[in-house]
Amino acid sequence: MKIVVQKYGGTSVGSIDRIKNVANRIIKKKEEGYHIIVVVSAMGKNTDRLLDMAYEISKNPPKREVDMLISTGEQVSISLLSMTLNALGCDAISLTGPQVNIKTVGNHMKSKISDIDDTILRHHLKDNKVIIVAGFQGVNEHRDITTLGRGGSDTSAVAIASKLQCPCEIYTDVDGIYSTDPRLYSKAKKLDRISYEEMLEMASLGSGVMHGRAIELGQKYGIPIYVASSLEEKPGTIIKEVAQMMESTAITGMAIDNNDAIITLDYVPYSIQVISDIFSRLAKKDVNIDMISQTSPRDNSVSVSFTVPKIELKEAKEVLSYFESKYPEIRVNTKEDITKLSVVGIGMRSQSGVAAQIFALLAKENIEIDMVTTSEIKISYVINPENQQTAIKVIAEEFGL
């Protein structure tokens, strides 16, 4: 039995007309001989509308009840898609997360899938029905309805594909994964394929196409994930194991992020206790630190720089004011106007000197670098936004992105 899981996001099912478009795509796939399980999100801004009602009642509504509320969004879209398929003569059945028995653990609004009972799915597949499953939701041990948090529907789709050991197709409002943001670099290339690891780095860098959880799940169970447009008939990008790739280039993609600010602390006492205390207090306030760099000690003090999302800058400064009063010698500098440019590539593992190559490119253009951090398959640079376009251009041209 040739099975495929397809996932359509909120924009793709945002109106009755769009739902009809999705239904026609499903029917086309079915005519190719596939048994199809479709995972759908809530229509357009429906989830936001429901959340607005909840927050009108309380600033901190019980999360169990929020899940009860927002899970209705997907229930609406699965029923409408099923009706549309049936109206077009295609036998279909809609199922909620609890009906599929998508078992979850953990807290409400950010539950994790622990297992899926495939009995019901296999039963309807045998009947040759298109199965429409509500994404983003499951059920916990108390039979409460749960939701999976950000990127939840992608995770539902990949989890079902993992259970059935079949490919997964994610249809969205972008037509694939690009070497860099096409809005910033018009000559950006769409990738035919990318490895799970590279995609994970791209996801964490905010390329925004797919959530990291779904990619991790695909990697764990070896499920190829195809990302393509739900509106256009263009080839998309496949995310799969690197071992399956014949060649690997040094750099696969480049991500640009303008949402962070950089904080530099000078004259910090050279003590792991102090440094550790700073970052644990920031963590307690839920400030997300991304890049961190620390200078070598000089006169028994160090400089520490790190990036934080601009929207968390206020919380970060509150934490730091505590240290300013405790250690009056500390100087805090913040710079909000920065560009974080990251290059990602599995090929970096085998090709040394990528960092040096980029330093040379930037030096030639006189682009100053505020901060650098590196990982096994990623290098991130903080530069001035005014140099962003030049940097993108020279790096993209050098590495053929």
Binding site for substrate, by residue number, is 47, 74
Show the CA angle centred on residue 92, arms to residues 87 and 98, nearest 5°: 130
Nearer to a copy of itself, 64 or 112 (CB): 64
Minimum distance, C-beta of residue 252 to a copy of itself, in the bound complex (Å): 42
Minimum distance, C-beta of residue 267 to a copy of itself, in the bound complex (Å): 47
| Annotation: binding site for ATP | 7-10, 172-173, 178, 183
Minimum distance, C-beta of residue 55 to a copy of itself, in the bound complex (Å): 10
DSSP β-ladder status, 168-172 and 137-139: unpaired
Q: Does 68 bind a copy of itself (CB under 8 A)?
A: yes
Question: What is the x/- site pattern for a copy of itself, positions 79-98, by CB under 8 A?
Answer: xx-xxx-xx-----xx-x-x
- Taking CB under 8 A as the criterion, the residue among 1, 2, 16, 321 binding a copy of itself is 16
Nearer to a copy of itself, 69 or 282 (CB): 69
For residue 233, CA distances in Å to 25, 186, 193, 236 come to 10, 21, 17, 9
Q: Does 275 bind a copy of itself (CB under 8 A)?
A: no
Q: Does 12 bind a copy of itself (CB under 8 A)?
A: no
DSSP β-ladder status, 137-139 and 145-147: antiparallel
Q: Does 53 bind a copy of itself (CB under 8 A)?
A: yes
Nearer to a copy of itself, 137 or 388 (CB): 137
| Annotation: binding site | 7-10, 47, 74, 172-173, 178, 183
Q: Does 32 bind a copy of itself (CB under 8 A)?
A: no
The phi, psi pair for 176, rounded to 5°, reads 145, -170
Of 102, 110, 112, residue with least CA distance to 163? 102
Q: Does 65 bind a copy of itself (CB under 8 A)?
A: yes
Q: Does 66 bind a copy of itself (CB under 8 A)?
A: yes
Minimum distance, C-beta of residue 102 to a copy of itself, in the bound complex (Å): 14
Alpha-carbon span 271 to 276, nearest angstrom: 9
DSSP β-ladder status, 3-8 and 35-40: parallel
> Applying CB under 8 A, what is the total number of residues that bind a copy of itself?
34
**Choices 70-78, 210-218, 226-234, 338-346; region in contact with a copy of itself by CB under 8 A:** 70-78
- Sheet order of strands, 193-195 included: 92-95, 130-134, 35-40, 3-8, 168-172, 225-229, 237-240, 193-195
* DSSP state letter for 23: H
Minimum distance, C-beta of residue 157 to a copy of itself, in the bound complex (Å): 19
Show the CA angle centred on residue 190, arms to residues 389 and 175, nearest 5°: 110
Residues 127-166 that bind a copy of itself (CB under 8 A): 143, 145
Q: Does 57 bind a copy of itself (CB under 8 A)?
A: yes
The answer to whether 396 and 179 are in contact (CB under 8 A) is yes
CA 393 to chain centre: 25
Q: Does 72 bind a copy of itself (CB under 8 A)?
A: yes
Q: Does 45 bind a copy of itself (CB under 8 A)?
A: no
Alpha-carbon span 9 to 13, nearest angstrom: 7
- Taking CB under 8 A as the criterion, the residue among 5, 37, 54, 395 binding a copy of itself is 54
Minimum distance, C-beta of residue 73 to a copy of itself, in the bound complex (Å): 8
- Taking CB under 8 A as the criterion, the residue among 11, 75, 373, 380 binding a copy of itself is 75
Alpha-carbon span 108 to 235, nearest angstrom: 37
For residue 344, CA distances in Å to 202, 252, 358, 365, 398 come to 7, 6, 12, 21, 14
Minimum distance, C-beta of residue 61 to a copy of itself, in the bound complex (Å): 4
Helix (H) or strand (E) run with residue 261 in it: strand 260-269
Return the bridge partners of 38, or none: 6, 132
How many residues belong to the chain?
Answer: 401
Alpha-carbon span 128 to 269, nearest angstrom: 68
Nearer to a copy of itself, 132 or 177 (CB): 132
* Interaction site with a copy of itself (CB under 8 A): 16, 19, 50, 53-54, 56-58, 61-62, 64-66, 68-69, 71-72, 75-76, 78-80, 82-84, 86-87, 93-94, 96, 98-99, 143, 145
